[in-house]
Structure 1
Amino acid sequence: MEQNSGALKQNPKPNVPIEDRQNPKSDPTVIKGPRKKTKPTQRKVIQKAAAYITLIFVSLIMVGPFLWLLATALKSGSENIFAYPPKFIPESPTLSNFTAVLEYFPFFTYLMNSTIVAVLTVGANLLFCSLAAYPLARMNFRGKNIVFILIISTMMIPFQLLMIPIYILALNLGLQNTYLGLVLPHATTAFGIFLMRQAFLTIPYELDESARMDGANAFQVWWKILMPLVRPSLVTLAIFTFMMAWGDFLWPLIILNDQSMYTLPLGVQSLQGNFSSNWRYIAAGSIISVLPIIIVFAILQRYFIAGAMKGAVKG
């Protein structure tokens, strides 16, 4: 016993093979220090700088026309708006063009008409597109994929091909010079159905089953379970629909002949005369018509990317 205890005292450490001793990674007693941060190579720095320069250049190209439009709206009558190279900073900025447009043209009437049409169109799209997408995403029935393919295929048909039959139908229904005549042709879109279907597919089916076990019907599952979970996609669809309805020019031009029902695009077009045009007034009217879109997007931009990415997860 004494000999054994003496042997244990002489060899307190366990026997470790020579190969493991030479390899510090296999030795549990070796303490690893913090990893050193690798410095980015010169090639990566150049690539990142080139990417930022390209993005800045493309952004300037896209923002340039809007900056010129804003500068034109702020220029006085003595300045040359067609000078080359263009001047983006007015010599004597003035708001007289904006006040003249609001004073001599019924722009508030056009603004109210555009707001009513855009709000009704957005509400109709959110309701009907989500209702149409719900069975395509959450129910099983024969021919479901065929119906979805047919709906998606209509995205390849331009609206200009359908305007004549829609216009004749609107005339027969007495919808000329009415808000319904402006809203109904865009009350639902194939893109909206596609976006909402993709959003519904990302939600687990177990939520539907648990809701039905609690006695919920299909409508309650759609309204109380699914709709709150796809809020980012709803906001994305609302932004796209609002931009489409707010900037629509061709269909209001066809269905409306009463100037009191004009929307903002038609109102801006009415600023152009038959023989001469005051481009400062047109620029001011265009800035006024674009501001609501910028405000809506600025408020809802945090939901926009989330909704677009959520709708693209499943196919």
Structure 2
Amino acid sequence: MSAAAATKAPGRRTVGYIALSVLGACVGLLFLIPLWWTFVNSLRPGGDTFRYLNPLQWETFFTLTPNLDNYAELLRSNLGLAMLNSVFVSAATVVIGLVICSMAAFALAAIPFRGSGAVFVVVVVSFLIPFDAIAIPLADLFRDWNLQNTYAGLILPGLGNGMAIFLLRTFFLAIPKDLVEAGRLDGLGWWGIFRRIYLPLSVPSLIGAGLTLFLFQWQSYVWPLLNGTDEQHILGPIALSNLQGQFNVDYGVMFAGSIVLTVIPLAIIIGFQRFFIQSVTTTGLK
């Protein structure tokens, strides 16, 4: 390769990198525009929601007179209690679900037993089946077990998440077997190996699995609609849909509630995105 060609190659890579960066920024902006429009309209009276939509103008995406009246209206609704319920149910699902999913993944990855492959296939199939397909018959079972309108009834379906088990098992398979053998020589049982070797090495994967459990529970709509029907156990998405009146809709309040329900998971995802990407990358490499 000549000196001129060698000089042009880094220049081409730089231009390609800049072009991809600009393209990525444009795509990200396209995803941001609907959220920004929702936020701006949450600062306007509900009657002005579609006032500047056709034709598009600068006031479509900006307002010179923002106010918090819609957010104040939320405080007078039952969305506050619903938000607390959603936080509690999601946090309990993450804590208890991580214990269950990590132990299941450890058993499938480290403990040899007959039929482990078949069990793993069942786990994979479980998260390929949409939960909404089994929600109604499952709600009938929970009603027979007196678990309707209880926190336990809202939490239990989200604990055994097949996707979380899949992520954790894949990460556990990457842990060297020599560490397991060394632990066995030191007298550790399977529980000791799991607690002292696997868990300390799997923090990124545990955070990724925890985010999976959290998002599954936080954005759930059909199950809370079927199983949490009273005001004391209502969750955020259901309370938000209840803000819609029978004959009219205050879009300003609806958008304010949507922003509140979006900010919490968005902040958590941004805070832990590095660990989530690392856990998914490890799964892909395996």
Equivalent residue of 1:275, what SS? coil
* Residue 36 (structure 2) aligns with: 67
Of 75, 99, 102 in structure 2, the residue corresponding to residue 130 of structure 1 is: 102
How far the C-alpha of 1:80 sits from its partner, in A, is 4.7
Q: 1:169 to 1:298 in 2, by over 3 A?
A: same
Equivalent residues, number: 278
Matched residue SS, 1:234: helix
Aligned-pair CA distance for 1:285: 0.7
In the alignment, does 2:63 pair up with 1:90? yes
| Paired position in structure 2 for 1:21 | none
Q: Secondary structure at the match of 2:112?
A: coil
User: What is the identity percentage for the equivalent residue pairs of Structure 1 and Structure 2?
Assistant: 31
- Indicate conservation of the 8 Å contact 1:75/1:81, yes or no: no
Which residue type is aligned with residue 143 of structure 1?
G
**Aligned counterparts of 1:154 and 1:61: Cα–Cα separation in 2:** 33
The match for 2:72 is: 99
Give the counterpart letter for 1:251 in structure 2.
W
1:109 and 2:81 aligned: yes
TM-score by length of 1: 0.83
Structure-1 residue corresponding to 2:197: 225
- Structure 1 counterpart of 2:266, which letter? I
Distance 1:92 1:79 in 2: 12
Match of 1:284 among 243, 252, 256: 256
How big is the shift at 1:284?
Answer: 0.5
Moved more, 144-153 or 247-256: 144-153
Deviation at 1:106, TM superposition (A): 2.3
What's 2:270 paired with? 298
Q: Within 2, Cα distance between the matches of 1:111 and 1:252?
A: 13
Q: 1:310 to 1:77 in 2, by over 3 A?
A: closer
8 Å contact from structure 2 (residues 46, 250) kept in 1:
no
Please report how far the alpha carbon of residue 232 of structure 1 lies from its aligned counterpart in structure 2 after TM superposition.
0.1
Q: Give the Cα separation in 1 of the matches to 2:277 and 2:238.
A: 31
Looking at structure 1, the residues matched to 122 and 45 of structure 2 have their Cα atoms a distance apart, in angstroms, of: 54
What is the CA-CA distance between 1:163 and the residue it aligns to? 1.4
Maintained 8 Å contact 1:114/1:246: yes
Alignment of 1:117-266 (within 5 A): 117-266=89-238
CA distance in 1, matches of 2:136, 2:96: 22
Structure 2: stretches of 5+ with no match in the other structure = 1-5
2:247 aligned counterpart, secondary structure: coil
Answer yes or no: is the 8 Å Cα contact 1:67–1:88 preserved in 2. yes
| Alpha-carbon contact 2:106-2:169 (below 8 Å) kept | yes
Higher relative contact order (CA 8 A, sep 6+): 2
Aligned to 1:16: none
* Structure 2 residue 20 is matched with structure 1 residue 51: yes
Change (3 A) 1:40 1:76: farther
Query: Hey, which of these two has a bigger chunk of helix by percent?
Result: 2
Distance 2:162 2:46 in 1: 47
Distance 1:299 1:42 in 2: 35
Q: Secondary structure at the match of 1:261?
A: coil
Contact kept? 1:129, 1:193, Cα under 8 Å = yes
Length-normalised TM-score, structure 2 = 0.91
Letter in 2 for 1:48: Y
Return the index of the structure with the highest Cα Rg: 1
Instruction: Report the alpha carbon displacement of residue 46 of structure 1 after superposing the two structures with TM.
Output: 4.7
Letter aligned with residue 62 of structure 1 = F
1:274 Cα deviation from its structure 2 partner: 0.6
Cα pair distance change 1:91/1:155, threshold 3 Å: same
| C-alpha separation in 2, matches of 1:208 and 1:80 | 61
Amino acid at match of 2:285: V
Alignment RMSD:
2.0
Provide Cα deviations, 1:87-130, integer angstroms capped at 9, x if missing partner.
1111211112111211x202221111001110111112211111
